Structure 1
Amino acid sequence: MRKPSLNNVKLRDKMLLIYFLCVLLPIVLTNVIFYNVTTINVKNQKMKDFSLAVEKARNELRDQIDTALGISAVLNTDYFLNESLERSYATDGEYVDAYHSDIIRTLNKYSPVYQSIRRITIYTDNPTVISGGYVNSITPQIESGSWFRAMEESIDPVVVRTGENGLNGYETNYSIVRTLNYPGNRNVWRKIVKIDIHADAIRQVFGTIGLDGDVFLIDGENTVQYSSRDDIGWLKREVAYSPAFVADDALLFEESYPIMNNNSGPWKIVLAVSEEKVLEEVRKSRGFVIYLAAANILVPSLIIIWVINSISARLVRLLRHMKKVKHGAFETVAYGDHRDEIGQLTSEFNRMTLQLGKLIDDVYVADIQKKDLELKRNQAQLHALQSQINPHFLFNALAAIRTRSMMKNEEETAKIIHNMAKIFRKSLQWGKDWVTVREEMDLVLCFLEIQKYRFGDKLDYRIEVDESAYECAIPKMMLQPLVENASIHGIEPLAREGLIEIRIERRHGSLFFSVKDNGVGMQPEEMARINGLLADRDDMGDNVGIKNIYYRLQMYYKEEADFEMTSTPGKGTLVRIRVPEHGGNA
């Protein structure tokens, strides 16, 4: 298995990899972990705080109810109070005296002392007692009340909730109700004490924790006795507590408180706080955490970018100059006097570049002379090739023969001689290496007319040239040798009718030439031999015309020209040439 390697990774990418793995990722992970740990710690602390708040409310509620229960117990064992309520009074005045001396004195000891006690009321069915003040008669209306029925159903003191219209609208009150049964009295009459607790005291108990969420005081029968939610209608009717009262994501805090109600379970306080409320403080600090993380990322990022640019930019500049050296431009790199490793490398590169430039300057003259000799040699070969087909005396002889043919009215012979004269006249133009496609095709057409005169109906030709290609410049006699090879080597040995097709197209900034014949073709061995001759620049061989075209294409167009020759025995030969449009001037 091949080991992972960073050798093929660019230096800039390596530095960025170090930045992401060693700076950015640790900073992001550290801040995320810090934020999550802080959130968990704050959440746990908040939950402890809410639990303590609910427990405190439970204790304060218990203190208030226990205070009222204690007062009711003391009143139950107060001999003078019970004796005053059991006594039969002969006159109203006698009751009034006993009321002021025993009852009021006893009850006034508690109301002013305990601020949570709103009122203490005693109910009795003693007919000699005058109803009013702290003592009221048990009337049918009283007996029909819910608190009275709850008291009769229990042998212990009960805690009841009643509602009435007050100064602030409809108010709910909490009362401790019990029967007074002093053991030493006859207990002929029913005596009931009802101790009312201030509604504000209850609201104050739950007011603090109610600011953080929804508070519910639930009795043993799952009835809501108090809530910070007025929308559930608990004030004017009995409402059973339901989990639907709280949100799905709410956190619940509960504290139970046993109350001495007969056949009833303990009461409990429920605080429902949304998780968003619990994490409110953390949410407030989220912006600070984000700003701190941004600063921790931005400052190292700027420093690392500065360092990366100091390294990468100079390396890229050095590499760019190295590529210029490859193409023959020996330029030195600026700022090569820096003292770090890249500066030393740049300094050595500049020294090497200067030495290479000097060395090339020393051998440049000799190289130019060598190239000049080679160019003259190629030109001499080209002129030698041209001299094979354009001797000057032939032109003069053909002109004389054409004149005599016209004098004897031999027009066909005169036309052919005229075409031959045109061919030799163009070949005599030594100083003109470039011609237009139109001029080249005029030469080719003259040659084809001569060949058709020679072969008769055995030879036919077809020419297709794009109109836009006629004025393009090409090397002189680039197509005529190909047409000559097609007629002599392809069509002449053929027993059937021969066809030469010439096509010239101009597209995508290039000229495309094709010369095709349906002649005898060539065997693969012959094609291999010709390709070998084209590869050998020193040996001209027998195929002078093809090698002449191939060498001139290489000389004029370098690597921009394409030359392709294919042949099939019995089917013919196809030559394709592609050259750029701008190769010279006609």
Structure 2
Amino acid sequence: MFRIEPSPWRRGLTAFSTSMNNIRTRRKLVLSYLLVVFLPVLVVGQLLTNTLREQSVNHAVEQAANNLKKIERQVEETLQIHEGVSNTIFFDKKLKEIVSREYASESEVFQAYRSYDSFTTYLELYKSIAGIRMYVNNETLLENWSIFRTDAQTASASWFQNGLESRGKIVWDYVPDPTRSNAKHLSLVRQVYNLDMSYIGMLVISVNPGVLNAILEQEPFETLIYTDRGEIVASNDKAWIGKPLQQFLQLEGELPREADGVRSIRFRDEPAKLLVESIEFAASADRLHIVSVIPETSIVRDARQVSLIAYTIVGASLLASCALILFFSAAISKRISVLSHDMRRVARGDLQHYSLVKGNDEIGQLSRHFNHMVANIGDLMRQVREVAESRHELEMKQKEIRFKMLANQVDPHFLFNALETVRMKAHCNGEGEIADIVKSIGALLRNNLEAGQGAVPFASEIELTRMYLEIQHFRFGSKLAYSLPNTNEVQDITILPLLLQPIVENAIVHGIERKIGSGFVDVSLDFEPGKLLVVIKDNGVGIEAGKLHDLVASLDDQEDDTGKRIGLRNVHQRMKLFYGQEYGLRLTSREGEGTTVIMTLPRGEQKHV
């Protein structure tokens, strides 16, 4: 015979188990504590700290991103006012006529200015507009707080050149305001020209800086707005307004053109998160950008405090638990040694010895069970003898039951033999019809006696029903006619035994027998996708509406029938148990016209329980 060698893994596991069994209990408890409690707690504590830090950073970034979205909406709503006003002025024919006309005297200029008050109206309506100015090349115009002549310094300014390059589109720039001591403000700059594309002037609409700063001042982190050219035009720290973004972020070289979103940077020699959102208008040639810088040290400060408290609690708990483990392991080891000594005495044959280990823990329970075991050995041996006697008596009774069962099997065989004798006698006397009926009765009885719980071919159930109907036709004569489906239609279908014949029997007993005149029972098949409908229809006396309602309701009753009668409820409940709740019987009837029973079966084998 071949000997199967254990695998290296199994040999290693066996060796480890053997070595652990050779270590004293106290040492195993301490080792288990270190491996199962001490080290995992340290590792889990570190993982939780890192997770808490990461979650704190993500939460702060998410909150800051939501704040940026809110700021973006507020700034966009504010600047849309300037965009709308610029669109109105861009197409203002009266303004174009005033600034394009050549004036002969100052009185004509004053007259033209007095007739145009749209700029003043816009300033009164919208508090977010700090000023509206129009720079033109018309030397005959007089300068006021709204109309300015374009001098060489203005024409060479970067904001003016950017407006010319945009060719009618809006440019957002940091523009000095001559009406406010040349203080710079975020301004909308737009070139205005005629329909023939001839230049008229440069429109400048200044944004009230207080409005933008008020939007940003509630932010907990440093947040600012800058232009495409890197000029900071608004900030919750006013010291940075007007300075380049490179200086704020401490960048060297050009400003990086990165997409909006979140990225990690070094801000003031510390790790930080940089969040960028851009604002773009349909009529603008450039964009504004909102930036928020979140230092990671301020985010994780609270998380570090929580981690320090957690580490302190975990360390104190580990030290206290270590002391308790040492104390309890010593106590357990001592009691186990005493109990082991008591067991050795009993093993040497001293059945009068009892263990003196006390307590309600597992060791104390083991000691009490040990004492009970020693005290009850005699009782157990007596019980073994009693059990052996009881088993012998039970075997004798079982043999008696088997004998009676074998004797009872003689009766059905005697009945079948007697029926076969009658059939042969009738056949010999030329009574062929009687012989066929007796043969059907015998087959019907044999089928009922041998019926089991498993599925049978549907064709055999149709043949069984045909034999039953032949017996009833012999009984009723021309009063009963019937129709059954061809068995070739159901060659590959199996169903539970005794489903069809009881329903047909119910139709004859309760429908046809009580009818005056001839009756008819029709069994037909209706194939649907995944289902087979067996329709049993009779033209008997029918069922009145009240009794039909009670009969349908009783189909789902769980009351047990202890007899062998197989009725509609028995068939219905067997189908639901075997096939599932969607299958079973449906009844329709009309008094005086007949009854229809529809049996719903699955196509193919489908067992539910």
TM-score with structure 2 setting the length: 0.44
Q: Of the two, which has the highest radius of gyration? A: 1
- Higher relative CO (Cα under 8 Å, sequence separation at least 6) belongs to 1
Report the TM-score, using the length of structure 1 for normalisation: 0.45
